Structure 1
Amino acid sequence: MPATSPTIAPERSSQTTRKPYPNYKVIVLNDDFNTFQHVAECLMKYIPNMTSDRAWELTNQVHFEGQAIVWVGPQEQAELYQMQLSRAGLTMAPIEPA
């Protein structure tokens, strides 16, 4: 029977670790003029994969807590969604790192 040599783990060729890009938060603020219906519809229209149930949950959070984080992800997309929601008339906080 042939002798088996011990398994040697390969040495790490580099010690650099890639940092992931930071995520950003898109935050809708409460106001006195947007209806629940309008806020929920905007969230479903502009935020990818937003379900009706989740949109209404976030809309209630905006109303009762004063704000809600409606999306978290890469900066470019966060800026796009923030701009789209703002143009639709929602009151938005500036995007901020998550």
Structure 2
Amino acid sequence: MVEFLSIMAVVLLALLIWVIRSRRPQANRILDDSPGYARHTQTRPVDVPSQMTGRDYGILLRAAHGDRSRLETWVVAEQQRATPPLSRDEAIERLAERLRLSRS
């Protein structure tokens, strides 16, 4: 009888250790293979346009008090004002130069 109880205790102890070890990796598992949030909408990385990061753009954005729609209106108006149409970068450079000269 004592042998039976000791064998049962060893079996229960082994079963308990197995249950604890089988649950531990699941609780501590890092989900590296899980898909990111809305991954189906992220087909390519979004590049920051160069004309929105330059020094001239920053000067104009400060003059517009952070209002990007106002700044876009200025840029489009400058592009249309020129006899040969200006590129976006040229219009931004021309507006920034005009602003610098007006503040001097």
Q: Is the structural similarity TM-score above 0.5?
A: no
Higher strand share: 1
Higher relative contact order (CA 8 A, sep 6+): 1
Q: Which has the larger radius of gyration?
A: 2
TM-score, normalization by structure 1? 0.27
TM-score, normalization by structure 2? 0.26
Higher helix share: 2
